[in-house]
Structure 1
Amino acid sequence: MRAELFQNKTGVHLPSPQYMHRGHLYLKVTKDYMQTAVDAFAILLKGNINDVLRLPAAYVLKSARTIAMMRIAKEKLVATWTVVKGNRHPIEITPRILEQYRPLFKYLNGNEIAKLNLTDERILTYIGTHADLDRHQVGIVASRYIKLNPRWMEPRYLNLMNNILCGVPMNFMRKQAENTYLQLTHEMFYHIKACDPLQRRFYYAMMTRTQALGKPYSWSARDVSRLGLLLTEIDGPDLAMVKPEAMSGITAQVMLEIPPQTLKHVTEMQLRFIGQKPLNILAKKLSDYQDELRIYNKGYCLMTLIFQNVWVYFPC
């Protein structure tokens, strides 16, 4: 389809359904970028898997972010990887292509991700810093990487794995020397989004051993910052023990994840050292928490008498 010109203004339109035959749709990329985008949208929306597989790989990579925002069948989103991969084996995919494909990467299954060239440090870091992978995906990748690299337990390789650590069995990590945790990078625990609470508590326990960072009252701002998302597992009384000046190490990203039940233990002196953005988040979370408590503590429930259609208040 071509864009129409009316009063010197270009207009675009979706192809008419009567001219769209599922299974026989092709995208023609022209210099009319807007109409090309609309045509691609129509194919993704109305076409079937075979139509998606015929999309140009270069166009899919350029439009990956837009495609990821579309509410279409997951099978079609997964099919875009087949388009991008083409006739190549996954191990031949370059980091540059993966970076372009980042918005859609989360739809790949773990087995397909594990087929990438994990010996390339750039690809390993790409997977480990991807924010949208779940524990199952990183678990398969971790299993594959452990087989590929017998030296994976060295700090150098752990620092490349990042979120992939969430897929490593905790029994393996218990064998690590305690000083290993001090050699992990500053950003490591900001990427462990696939870890469940049990894993976070485990890593928190490892990082707060005497041979590592020690107890909360001995932390510096650098130590607090280094803990990253592990701070979500700190107890309220322990948080109150942190030195006020060390609270400047809490970032907005971490503050969003800390439960309000823990944040209510923050002292007035500590508040003075928290950054403005984390402080705003803290205030909002505590305000919402107080509102919830106020509603819960009213002690009355609202009940509808179905047959009489009367609203009655009664003590909970």
Structure 2
Amino acid sequence: MNNVLCIFIINGHYLKECLCAMHPSPTESIEELSLQYEDDRNAMIAVADKDNFITYDEFYDELDNRLGIEQSMNMIFFGPPSSFLRLDADSILHILTQTKKYMIPIGRALLAWDIVTDGKTAAFLQGREYLAFGSLLDVVPEEDLYYVNFGDPSVLNHFSSHFIKLQPRKYGILASAYRRYYGDSWYHNSSFINELGYLLCGFPPSDLAKISPTIFKEISFETLSKTGKCNIKQAKALYSIAIHRDAYGEPYKWSSHEIGRLSALFTCIPKIDISSIQLEAVTAISPEVLTAMNKEKLEYFTKQQILRMNPKTRRIYILRMQLKNTYNMNDVARQSGNSRTINQNIVLPFPLIIVTLTYFDF
């Protein structure tokens, strides 16, 4: 027991001084002592600076607390830009590869492009970066696409073998970037043309017309099959080369081999030349080609040619002819008054096919 000096003061008046006894504090238990020891020991352990870690809580601290971590993709693409900027380029490429492109806002796509390029031009990118962006390249500035490095085999292989839904002007920019590396003499070498693939549809018809018939005949089937993505002017320019006597000649001379190689270019055949195609060659017309052909040209196939088509192609032909002759709802007269039901039989241009159409006229 320890004695201490005590001073008594009441209402501001001094009374007296005396010695007071102070009882010691009760003895701490072993459990409390062990906890204090653990706290002291943990405090001595070196801990790295907190700024070196990026936790999920810190990543989403600026977002709505009602959103769950399972909605992280929405947080990344619709959250604040400061959170998106914390991602590195490899993480962004992985996210873009696993995400549907149409769900990504344009602002985030441009921000991702700036992060991946790191303030440099597109000349430093490889095929994997373009594969991750895909159709998002349609929102990338044209001046950036002009510096695409087609000297890199991975870049050239990506754009030639993958069809990307881009505006025709963007494909023209890519064709200009290709011309920067290989010059204007690409149409003199069939090897260069075969390497173009889908990029062939990026060149204007005036450039495609420079391909000689001899070189055109050396173009591979894989490259010609990709010309279906070209516009009508580009396809007609290539078709005019194909019918040259030094290439494949007039359509009436074609066999199934020529029609199979020309593939999508067959849609450019004039109406008057359709009936002159040999019956043996008709078997090579694919359903995709007949689907893309102008429906006005379908009437010029003869009955013998239709019967010689392969079953799938003939079915497409019949369906398209049916759709061409079906009832046009624009002809329905709309009159005021009570509604009445009209039944009309439509006889399609094929035997034993009758469709009854019921519509309401108001």
- 1:194 and 1:53 map into 2 onto residues whose CA distance is 37
SS of the counterpart of 1:99? helix
Counterpart pick for 1:152 among 178, 182, 186:
186
Summarize the alignment of residues 90-105 of structure 1 with structure 2, pairs less than 5 Å apart.
Answer: 90-102=122-134, 104-105=136-137
CA-CA distance at 1:311 after TM superposition: 8.2
Corresponding residue to 1:141 among 151, 163, 174: 174
Q: 2:147 aligns with which of 106, 111, 115?
A: 115
Q: What TM-score does the superposition give when structure 2 sets the normalisation length?
A: 0.65
Name which structure has the greater RCO, CA cutoff 8 Å, separation 6+.
1
Deviation, 1:39, is 0.9
* 8 Å contact kept, 2:224–2:263: yes
One-letter amino acid of the counterpart of residue 145, structure 1:
Y
Contact 1:68 1:77 in 2 (8 A): no
- CA offsets, 1:211-262, max 9 Å, x none? 1111111112221122222222222332232222222323333232112222
Corresponding residue SS for 2:151: coil
Aligned partner of 1:243 in structure 2 is 278
Structure 1 unmatched runs, 5+:
3-13, 22-33
Which amino acid counterpart does residue 148 of structure 2 have in structure 1? L
- What TM-score comes out, normalization by structure 1 length? 0.73
* Match of residue 77 from structure 1: 109
1:208 corresponds to 2:243: yes
1:67 has 2:109 as partner: no
8 Å CA contact 2:201, 2:229 repeated in 1: yes
Q: Indicate if the aligned counterparts of 2:216 and 2:247 stay in contact, CA closer than 8 A.
A: yes
Alpha-carbon spacing, 1:253–1:110, altered in 2? closer, same or farther (3 Å):
farther
* Aligned equivalent of 1:192: 227
2:53 matches 1:19: no
User: 1:137 is matched by which residue type in structure 2?
Assistant: K
2:258 corresponds in structure 1 to 223
Q: Secondary structure at the match of 2:333?
A: strand
Shift in Å, 1:100:
4.2
Asked if the contact 1:142–1:167 (Cα under 8 Å) also holds between the matched residues in 2, the reply is yes
Contact 2:253 2:277 in 1 (8 A): yes
Q: What percentage of residue pairs aligned between the two structures are identical? A: 19
- 1:224 aligned partner, one-letter code: I
Paired residues of 1:53 and 1:82 also in contact (CA < 8 A): no
Instruction: Give the aligned partner of residue 302 of structure 1.
Output: 333
Residue 182 of structure 1 is aligned with which of 206, 209, 217? Answer: 217
The answer to whether the 8 Å contact 1:110/1:141 transfers is no
Q: Which runs of 5+ in 2 are unaligned?
A: 1-54, 341-362
1:165 matches 2:196: no
Larger radius of gyration: 2
